[in-house]
Structure 1
Amino acid sequence: MMNFDINFQLMGYHFLQLGIAFVLSLPIALNREMKDNGAGLRTFPLVTIASCAFMLVGMDIYDAGGEARIMYAIITGMGFIGGGAIFKNEQGSKGTATAASLWNTGAIGISVAYGRYEIAIILSIVGFLILQFSDPFKAKDRPSALE
């Protein structure tokens, strides 16, 4: 017969960490949702909690070298997903802020998994502030580099 053992204390701790990761992704997710930039309230929290969960599992079953490989895979995967958010046309490119934000939320999840909440909080705040308040500084009507 199979032994099915659940550590409810550890489960509660991981639930708390995943909840923190989820909450810290919300300011960025809300900004992207309100600006209608493709990825939003579903994508950003899923990226954050999945990154956190991958690291939590990796920390539980691998040594430091295995953890590094998990982190490397998350970083690479975020680059791949972010690349899908970027669209290029005659006027230039669009979606780079969303792509970078996806990468940022992956870093939030990793930071929470390692208990580096100060880094996760800073990433959340700075990411939100950049997205929320940088629009007036973006160059509008600049000539395309393709012309």
Structure 2
Amino acid sequence: MLMDLLLRIALAGVLGGLIGLERQMRAKEAGLRTHILVGIGSAMFMIVSKYGFDDILNQTHIGLDPSRIAAQVVSGMGFLGAGTIIIQKQMVKGLTTAAGLWVTAAIGLVIGSGLYEIGIYGTVLALVVLEVFRRISHWLIGQHHTLIVQLKPKSVPSVLLALQKDRIRYGQISVVNRDKESGLCELTIEVTLARSVSGSNLYEHLLEVKGVESVEVH
């Protein structure tokens, strides 16, 4: 029994690490170590929830709900996931990583309960969604980038018009107040580039707009 429980903890850590490795390769907020710890911790919570009270359950006047600790893991992961979501310049980032941590916690709970096949299957599906679907999304829709443009305030409409002429889809837009010394403001735009459009071409095109001082493509 002990070896089986130790195997569950180790396997939950390994499966969580696979998801964390993919996130770390993408330079995301929560990487390999974070996902391993979430997997191990969730498995241990489930083991405690299922087997940690056997010594007192034999007493007739005590009744416990074995799902209560596991349920708290689900709600507790909300706080950890919220820590990976960044709101920067009115842009929201980190939602996929937060969802990955949530799935990793679920995998840890499943493995901790002894459902090995379900845990492995869930890990494979999560990796397929994170990697394969990402490539499919880039192929069908395009790749998402963040543009940071230093420019004169009056040039903001010109930049947006240049994007429209190039048929580049853009989403959230943020403009930081003008710097008093340089007279420039910072424009941040979320754009989606089709396969036919390269970041270098977009960079050169935006620099040609009057009033634009610098462009960064992330």
TM range (shorter): 0.7 to 0.9
1:1-16 matches, cutoff 5 A: 10-16=1-7
Residue aligning to 2:17: 26
Question: Kindly, what percent of the aligned residue pairs are identical?
Answer: 34
Contact 1:91 1:143 survives alignment (8 Å):
no
Change (3 A) 1:145 1:107: farther
In 2, Cα distance between equivalents of 1:66 and 1:82: 26
TM-score (ref. length: structure 1): 0.82
Contact 2:18 2:32 survives alignment (8 Å):
no
1:62-73 matches, cutoff 5 A: 62=53, 66-73=65-72
User: Structure 2 counterpart of 1:117, which letter?
Assistant: Y
In 2, Cα distance between equivalents of 1:102 and 1:118: 20
Residue aligning to 1:102: 101
Contact 1:48 1:106 survives alignment (8 Å):
yes
Gaps of 5+ in 1: 1-9
Q: Does 1:144 align with 2:135?
A: no
How many residues get paired?
138
How far does the alpha carbon of each residue in 1:77-130 deviate from its partner, in whole angstroms, 9 at most, with x for none? 111100111012345311001000000000001001111122211211111111
In 2, Cα distance between equivalents of 1:98 and 1:43: 11
Change (3 A) 1:145 1:121: farther
CA RMSD between the two structures: 2.3
Gaps of 5+ in 2: 58-62, 145-168, 176-218
In 2, Cα distance between equivalents of 1:83 and 1:135: 22
Report which of the two has the higher share of strand. 2
User: Structure 2 counterpart of 1:109, which letter?
Assistant: G
In 2, Cα distance between equivalents of 1:44 and 1:117: 18
Greater RCO (Cα-Cα under 8 Å, separation 6 or more): 1
User: Structure 1 counterpart of 2:116, which letter?
Assistant: Y
Report which of the two has the higher share of helix. 1
